[in-house]
Structure 1
Amino acid sequence: MKTLSLAFALAAPAQAALRFGCSTLTIQRLDPVVEPGNVPSAHLHQIVGGNAFNASMDGDVGERGACTTCTFSEDFSNYWTAVMFFKHKNGSYHKVDIVQNTALPNGINGGMTVYYTQQDFSSNGKQKITAFKPGFRMVVGSPTSTKRYGNGLKFVCLKGNKGTRFPELDVFPAEKCNGIMTVHHFPACWDGKNLDSPDHQSHMYNTVKEAFQNGGPCPSSHPVRVAQVAYETLWDTGKFDGMWDAKDGNPFVLSYDTAGSPGYGTHADYLFGWKGDSLQRAMDSSCMFNACENGRPLKSQAVSPMNKCTVNKMVNEQIDGWLDAMPGQKGHAMKHRKQ
């Protein structure tokens, strides 16, 4: 391991930063990282990325995908988060739609914005970044958390401009918003050995303070600097404005949360699936954001093929319309409930 770490340290610094959109691949109760093989898993997830996605996933995902919902056509990784619901005062639930980030091309079907950064939001990094390996996976956050879990898990109240970025909050906004953005930042220090760990987090170490700020140096226990992966998902909560009053408290919940907590349990999963050495080529380049597209150095695709990429439904249950309970909760109805 010492030899490997020395090789990383002596390698030339890189400067890439990726930001790209991924349309929604599927919304189902599946989680091949935390609950492999379970059909269904405990709660509902929004999943984007490659169509090799399944209830169980091992090996080199990048070699198995036939299409991807992401801008970079060599990226068959999967990215997923808990789904947001509106809880009506009569006790019923309705899934909140997803809207695209204003920084992305028009027409993306829901989905999320994905980042692989080395420094901050507006500038490139200056150190060697090692790409993840086939089979790598990790989780950030915990659905059972009842207090602030860690740095980089945030909510943003979107105003008239859906490009709003600040302030970043630890809990759901108390006021009415044009939308709510959930933000998930993953750790960027890897132990260099394990593709996963029993809790799906211990093989990683977080040196990030807040948001897109520079991370501190990696500790000797986790010496390998990888790109900081981050997701932004924009939930169209404004559609429900006429159904609640701010004095009654925020009515939005995430799909794991039966108690209506302020969102401390927000979490996200990542399963690496870039094809061949494509991610390492990007990390070794000096490109930034959309300048990395069109073969400079990554292959990219238009919005239409992103939106066409899908997977089959593996869980047969009602998730749309008004529901008596969220999927996975006791009393979840298999039919629409009129409001």
Structure 2
Amino acid sequence: MAVAKYLGTLLGLYAVGSQAQQGPYFVLGSGMPLVIERADPVLNPGSALSSHVHSVVGGNGFAITMNFAQAQKSTCATVSPKADKSNYWMPNLYYHDPRNGSFIRVPEQPYHKIYYKYGNGNNQYDTDITEFPQEFRMVAGSNTARSYNYTTMGPYGSELGWSCHGDSSHPDFYTTGIPTGFTACPGGLAAAITFPSCWNGKAFDVNNPSAHVAYPVADGLQGCPVGYRVARFPQIFIEYWLNTQTFNGLYGANDKPFVLSNGDPTGYGFHAVFINGWDVGVLKSIMPTCRPGNTGTPPLSDSSCFGNHGGLFTQQQMDACRQQPTTSENVGWKFGQNDNPVGNVLTYGGVVGNKLPGCNPIQAGPGPATVQNC
């Protein structure tokens, strides 16, 4: 199913899928990940190893046990506003070499984008939208999905989508799962997903991680489904950008060489996790005035945005913000590694062997995957 209207372009511009998501927004540019490892303090709290590898961005307060106080310990971040000490993470992508069966981490582009939307269909600030509670956390998408599900992915759902961006010699591909039929993505391969933004007032339940939130169906708090009108938050939309250039010529148009770290070769199991670390009061203060969108005018450093709330980290500071993994497991990334070392020359991600890290056999579906415990 084509979902071109849901996906970001190479410049980060995207068409919004519903009236409930129109209006003012800002974009948090992000450099390379803070850390890449099998950690997930939301879905696997207190465990040094989650079932699969994640790419983590955000504040360096990230830890295998997380609460708001831990997030506030961040001293740097891979996103620019100093007031945002939150963390965001998603499964890594690996190249499954059709020649020898080995798995190689796909290098990431240094411009993942995190959109915060808080407007309405009249291009105005939606005054019903409030900031997140201190201990708030949520998940977008499903780790076990292996086929399209209109209820969770369609309009007023996660708007999950993948895009292979071409050039004058290569066509663009826009699909809900990982696209096929291409031999190169010179403009980048990207996954995109939207988080829910309506809340029922209840705490996160690790055994039912989506029960406390829902997607809006229209503007305002009344645009949230019945039972989820305790609060409405900014809608977070994430673009996860990857570089497949170094694999050109190693696979054909009929191959399906890319697989997520959870053993998903379809892309339907792409998901993202958010844990709130925003300084209290900042989002509430800036949402009525901060509206640079993709134009960068005014910049996020402006007083209408974060100028009076700690300002921004420089690109150099974001690039230097890295965290040592909690284990020495080979996930195809080493502490401090940069996928874009010099002159935008990209390298292979690390080879991890003939199986994915953890216990993640390839499960193509179309039925839901079996959850792995390891």
**Which TM-score tier does this pair reach, normalised by the shorter chain?**
0.7 to 0.9
The residue number in structure 2 matching 1:137 is 137
Deviations 1:273-298 (A, max 9, x none): 01121122122324323335114331
Pairwise CA distance, 1:167: 6.1
TM-aligned CA distance change 1:143 to 1:330, over 3 Å: closer
| Cα 1:21–1:216 shift into 2, 3 Å | farther
Structure 1 equivalent of residue 176 of structure 2: 170
Aligned length: 298
Partner of 1:87: 96
Taking the TM superposition and a 5 Å limit, the aligned residue runs for 1:152-171 are 152-160=159-167, 168-171=174-177
Give 1:100 shift.
Answer: 3.2
Say yes or no: does 1:30 pair with 2:39. Answer: yes
The one of 18, 28, 52 aligned to 1:20: 28
Corresponding position of 2:225: 219
Task: Give the SS at the match of 1:156.
Answer: strand
Task: Give the C-alpha shift of residue 160 in structure 1.
Answer: 2.9
Instruction: Quote the RMSD (CA, aligned, Å).
Output: 2.8
Shift of 1:215: 11
CA contact (8 A) 1:131 1:227 kept: yes
Q: Under a length normalisation based on structure 2, what TM-score does the superposition of the two structures give?
A: 0.73
| Mapped partners of 1:160, 1:75: distance in 2 | 35
Q: Which residue of 1 aligns with 2:48?
A: 39
Q: Does 1:68 align with 2:77?
A: yes
- CA shift at 1:228, angstroms? 0.6
Q: Could you tell me how far 1:168 is from its partner in structure 2?
A: 3.9
Match for 1:56 among 65, 73, 97?
Answer: 65
Moved over 6 A (4+): 213-216
**What are the equivalent positions in structure 2 for 1:244-323 lying under 5 Å apart?**
244-247=251-254, 249-257=255-263, 260-289=264-293, 290=296, 291=298, 293-294=300-301, 295-298=303-306, 299-320=311-332, 321-322=350-351, 323=353
C-alpha separation in 2, matches of 1:309 and 1:199: 33
Q: CA separation in 1, counterparts of 2:280 and 2:62?
A: 18
**8 Å contact from structure 2 (residues 290, 305) kept in 1:** no
Alignment of 1:176-255 (within 5 A): 176=183, 177-178=185-186, 179-191=188-200, 193-197=201-205, 198-207=207-216, 217-223=223-229, 224-247=231-254, 249-255=255-261
How high is the TM-score relative to the length of structure 1? 0.80
Hey, what's the Cα distance between the residues in 2 that align with 1:137 and 1:325? 31
Structure 1 distance, partners of 2:121, 2:317, is 28
Pick closer, same or farther for the CA change 1:78–1:266 going to 2, 3 Å. same
Unaligned runs of 5+ in 1: 1-13, 102-111, 332-339
* Paired residue type of 1:59: F
Structure 2 gaps, min length 5: 1-21, 154-158, 333-349, 362-374
Of residues 235-244 and 75-84 in structure 1, the stretch that sits farther from structure 2 once superposed is: 235-244
Identical residues among aligned pairs (%): 27
Paired residue secondary structure (2:286): helix
**Equivalent position amino acid for 1:326 in 2:** L
Whole-angstrom CA distance in 1 between matches of 2:174 and 2:286 = 29
Q: Kindly indicate whether the alpha-carbon contact (under 8 Å) linking 1:77 and 1:272 is maintained by their aligned counterparts in 2.
A: yes
Q: 1:319 Cα shift?
A: 2.1
Letter in 1 for 2:240: T
Which residue of structure 2 lines up, in the alignment, with residue 336 of structure 1? none
Q: CA deviation at 1:190?
A: 1.3
